[in-house]
Structures are given as C-alpha cells and as structure tokens.
Structure 1
Amino acid sequence: MTTTEQRATADVYARRVAAADWEAVTEEVDAYGCALLPQLLTPRQCAELAGMHEDTERFRSTVDMRRHRFGSGEYRYFGHPLPEVVQRLRDELYPRLLPIARDWYRRLGRDAEWPDTLDEWLRICHDAGQVRPTPILLRYETGDWNALHRDIFGEKVFPLQVVINLNAPGEDHTGGEFLLVEQRPRAQSRGTATLIPQGHGLVFTTRDRPVMSRRGWSASPVRHGVSAIRSGRRHTLGLVFHDAA
C-alpha cells in the first residue's frame, strides 16, 4: 500500500470516529459507564475480521472460556503485526477517549499518566514490562456467554475500552447483549444491557468509574460480560488501550 493509500485509509477511520457525538458519549459514559458509538466498520470489514478467527498464525494465544470458567466461548489475542483495521481504530479512538480518562482520574485524585498519543502510551507500557498486544477476537456459539469480569493486565491501565459487534443482531444471532454491572457505594448493584448493532462500537469502563457520594468522588467498581447467545454465532472485536504483562 502506498503512502497516499495509507493516508486515505486512516482518513476513513478518522471520519468514522469523529462522526460520534463525543459530548453525548462523554455524558452517557459518565452516567452509565458505557455508551454506543456510530458504525466504525462496514459489514464487509466485519466479515473479514470474523473470518480471521480461523487464521491461527495471526494470534499469540487462544483462551477456551469454559476451561478457565470464564463462561463459554473462545477468544484469541492478536499478535504483532496487528491487522491494519485494528491498529487504525485504536489510533483514532485513543485521543477521543483520553479527555474522559483524564477527567475521571482528576475527580478520583489519581495520577493520569497517559500521554497524548497511543504510541507514547504503549512505550510506557512496554518499559514497565507490559509488551503483549491485547486486542482480541471473540467467538460465541449458541449457548455461549461471558462471565462478568474486568480486563486488567498489569499496573499500567487505561480506564476505557471499546468492543465492536461483527455480526448482525436478529439475523446472525439472538441474545448476546453486552452486560455492565456497577457495584455502587452502599447501594444495590445496577445492571445495564446493550444490544450492539453490527459494526458499531461500545465504549465502556475497564474497571471502575467516578461517582459522587456524600464524601465526594469515589470509584465505583464495574464488571462487564455478555448474556447467553440464544441462537446463531456472534463475533466481537475487543480494543484494549494498554498492553499486557
């Protein structure tokens, strides 16, 4: 691919990410811990990414979720080099999520160490021994599900991530809603369920979010998962913005 073609490809993803109403996304993530994004991938790109699941050479490891009692299904961590579409989306989404992350940590009195670009941040991760890529491709068959969990792979953590549904709900699968459960201070837990349209992204918190209490801002722990697939097959692309130890 020529430099001109690479720039044109990057511009496509920049326009798609910019199409989100980021003020509204910020408000919704603040309120619920997650927010839908516009279509980031075309149906053809979704099919191409889902098809990569069978190309084992692209991945550094595979996890059988049932074996590890994470639920039921399978996910694979991409190895280097990442597919171009994965790299471009990470590059474009990171600076959009960065103001939210910095504001959250400011409220919580934490040190927001993330620099302005993803490349700089990943170098910090690598210097800390977190060198393994974290983008993942997940596949769920009928009856599969993902247990509630948090994605933390080391001391260097970015507090937001994005998941993209590569299949069409109601056509390729039923069920498979994205679940978010927030453990609120001195209150019952609150659950949120989102059915993600094909090619659309959902931004959500990695481990917690700031909530106001009588004592000021505090961190409310949040876990995420996927409800049971009632029929069909569901593939998703997970974009984590820190590398793993």
Structure 2
Amino acid sequence: MNRLVVDANAPVSAEARVAAFDWTALAGDLDSYGCAVLSGLLTPEECRGVVALYPDENHFRSHVIMARHGFGKGEYRYFRYPLPDLIGGIRTALYPRLAGVANAWSERMGMEQRFPDDHAAFLRRCHDAGQTRPTPLLLQYVAGDFNCLHQDLYGDLWFPIQVAILLSEPDRDFTGGEFALTEQRPRMQSRVEVVPLRQGDAVAFAVNSRPVRGTKGTYRVNLRHGVSRVRSGMRHTLGVIFHDAR
C-alpha cells in the first residue's frame, strides 16, 4: 500500500512527505484509472486542525451553500490568500509531482498546453490570464448532504489534476459519503470509480479529461467527480486545486 507513516512527534515537511510516496506507482494509477490514492498524507492531528478552521471566516474569501446553486446539498468555503502554511505547503509540494503526468496527458491528447515544473510559475500564468482568486476549499457535509458530479475548472486556464484529502474518519465521524469518479467514454457506457478513503488519505484525480489507449490509438475521456449521500454524522474534505479562479 502506498501509505506514508508520519511520526506526530517529528513533523515532516510537505516536500519530504510528498517525496516519500512511490510516484511511479501513483502515475501508473492515474494513467490506468484516472485517480490515485496517497494514503496517510495528513496525520489525524493535522486533519482536526484543518477542520477547526471552518468556523473562522477570517481564513476564507467566500462561503457557498450548495443547494442554492444546484450543486447538491452541503456547504464549502474557499480559502483566501495567504493560505494556511500546511495547505499552501502541500499544494506547492504536490504540484511538480503531478505536472509531469499533466504534460504527458496533454501530449497524448494532442493539446498544446504545457505546465511549468514550478507551481509559482503556473500561478503567474493564471494571474496573467485574470485568474487571481485562490481555489483550495474546505467542504462540510451532514446527514443527507451530497455533491453532484461536476468539474472544477474556474476559467480558461486550469490544471488537469486535483487532490481531495478526507479529514474525517469513516464509520466514526460519518457513514456514506463515498468519493466517486465517472468517465464518459465515447460510444460506450460511463465507468464509475468509487474510491475508499480513511482520515488523512488523499486522492489525486483528473479534473476534466484524460487520455486512454484503445485498439485504434489514444482517445480522450471526460471525467466528473462527486460525493454520494452522507447517511449519518459530519464529513469534512480539503480540496486542493492548483489553478486560481477568475
């Protein structure tokens, strides 16, 4: 299992903990399934610390009630800049590990877009394009809540992979609420991937589309992600999106 073991008494930097994963295996999972799990990316203590930020509006730029917009049921808050150190550090450390996969996907799909190795350089491109609002977000669901299948694009310039980190423990803090990813394949029925996660686990997944090798060459599949109905308790998730919003 691709699990990181973090000693709570000896905090590990974001760069070191991200580097400790088997990125060859993770890239293979992204290529094969459109998603990959980074087990134990955050410690339980870190998860609880992020959840504790939710009531304090000073950390956030906006608050979205999903039912008002037809997104499902539940709510979330977008962080403001500067991001909390843990979240900003994880975002910066993850990006270059995923940029290679993103560039390979662009090449295979015949797309001109290429992504720099450095996240700050990519954010400068976003800002030059008028996309200046931070996109990391903290989601909160209670019993009966769910997140409709969707894509997080936010503008003309977007990074094709994002990461969601489960901050709550299934079967203790909540039941139900499974992360789901669907692929709409040309002239075929859609494929569904349900990803089991524990507290602190992260899932990296395709935002919009990814290449798939077929018998007649490579073709593109479109993806959407969502969360099934929470049946009891409360579920929190940290969403790490690498492009900024318009």
TM-score (norm 2): 0.93
Tell me which amino acid in the other structure corresponds to 1:104. Answer: W
Q: Is the 8 A contact 2:182 2:225 kept in 1?
A: yes
- Asked if the contact 1:19–1:38 (Cα under 8 Å) also holds between the matched residues in 2, the reply is no
The Cα shift of 1:213 comes to 3.3
Partner AA of 2:24 in structure 1? E
Counterpart in the other structure of 1:113: 114
C-alpha distance in structure 2 between counterparts of 1:82 and 1:32, whole Å: 30
* Partner Cα distance (1:237, 1:154) in 2: 21
How does 1:201-212 map onto structure 2 within 5 Å? Answer: 201-212=202-213
| Corresponding residue for residue 129 of structure 1 | 130
Residue in 2 aligned with 1:217? Answer: 218
- Distance (Å, rounded) in 2 between the aligned partners of 1:226 and 1:20: 25
Match of 1:52, SS? coil
Residues 16, 38 of structure 1: 8 Å contact kept: no
Q: When the two structures are aligned, how many residues end up with a matched partner?
A: 237
1:1-245 matches, within 5 Å, as 12-245=13-246
Query: Is contact 2:106–2:114 with CA below 8 Å preserved after alignment?
Result: no
The CA deviation at 1:115 is: 1.1
- Tell me the CA shift for residue 197 of structure 1: 1.0
Tell me, yes or no, if the aligned pair for 1:135 and 1:239 is still in contact at 8 Å: yes
Q: What is the rounded CA distance, in whole Å, between the counterparts of 2:211 and 2:155 in structure 1?
A: 21
**Counterpart contact for 1:161–1:206, Cα < 8 Å:** yes
**1:90-120 Cα shifts (integer Å, max 9, x gaps):** 1110011011001000101112331110001
Supply the AA of the counterpart residue of 1:161: Q
Which blocks of at least 5 consecutive residues in structure 2 are unaligned?
1-9
Normalized per residue, the structure richer in helix is: 1
What SS is found at the alignment partner of 1:233?
Answer: strand
Residues of 2 paired with 1:180 and 1:82: CA distance? 27
- How far residue 88 of structure 1 moved from its aligned partner, in angstroms, is 0.2
Q: Percent identity?
A: 50
SS of 1:116's equivalent in the other structure is coil
How far does residue 214 in structure 1 lie from its aligned partner after superposition?
Answer: 4.6
5+ long unaligned stretches in structure 1: 1-7
CA shift for structure 1 position 219: 1.6
Q: Taking structure 1 as the reference length, what is the TM-score of the superposition?
A: 0.94
Which whole-Å deviations, capped at 9, do the CAs of 1:181-233 have from their partners, x for residues lacking one?
Answer: 10011111000101211111100001011012354222200000001111110
4+ residue runs over 3 A deviation: none
- The CA distance in 2 between the partners of 1:19 and 1:237, in whole Å, is 21
